[in-house]
């Protein structure tokens, strides 16, 4: 049996990812994407530490998380634009009542 050193935490994260409601919110979509990468890193760390993978086999997955965190800040701009549009639509429909 592979893994086991950390109680298979990656599978618990996978369940969270599957159940996470995004509602097309850019922050939640980006967070979900990050969590997919984190889950892969957790998996590879657990399998490495359990001796099922070779030394340093987890580095690529960990590096992918750090690369994502340094990614294009466009997600923040999109999230703020989403907030503003949502606010404007709310105001528009409140005025129509």
The answer to whether residue 16 is domain-embedded is yes
The answer to whether residue 97 is domain-embedded is no
The answer to whether residue 96 is domain-embedded is no
The answer to whether residue 82 is domain-embedded is no
Q: Which domain holds residue 21?
A: 9-71
The answer to whether residue 86 is domain-embedded is no
CA-wise closest residue to 4 among 48, 54, 56, 55 = 48
pLDDT in tens, the chain (97 residues): 566 789 999 999 999 999 999 888 888 998 999 999 999 999 999 999 999 999 999 999 999 999 888 876 676 677 778 778 888 888 888 877 6
Helices 26-49 and 74-96 cross at an angle (nearest 10°) of 140
The answer to whether residue 36 is domain-embedded is yes
Structure tokens at 48: 């490495």
Backbone φ/ψ region at 34: left (φ over 0), alpha (ψ -120 to 50), beta? alpha
The answer to whether residue 64 is domain-embedded is yes
């Amino acid at each position: 049996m592979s893994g086991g050193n950390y109680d298979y935490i990656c599978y618990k994260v996978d369940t969270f990812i599957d159940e996470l409601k995004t509602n097309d919110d850019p922050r939640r979509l980006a967070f979900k994407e990050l969590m997919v990468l984190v889950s892969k890193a957790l998996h590879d760390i657990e399998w490495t530490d359990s001796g099922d993978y070779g030394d340093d086999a987890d580095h690529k997955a960990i590096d992918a998380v750090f690369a994502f965190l340094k990614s294009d800040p466009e997600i923040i701009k999109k999230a703020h634009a989403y907030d503003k549009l949502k606010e404007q639509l709310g105001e528009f429909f409140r005025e129509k009542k």
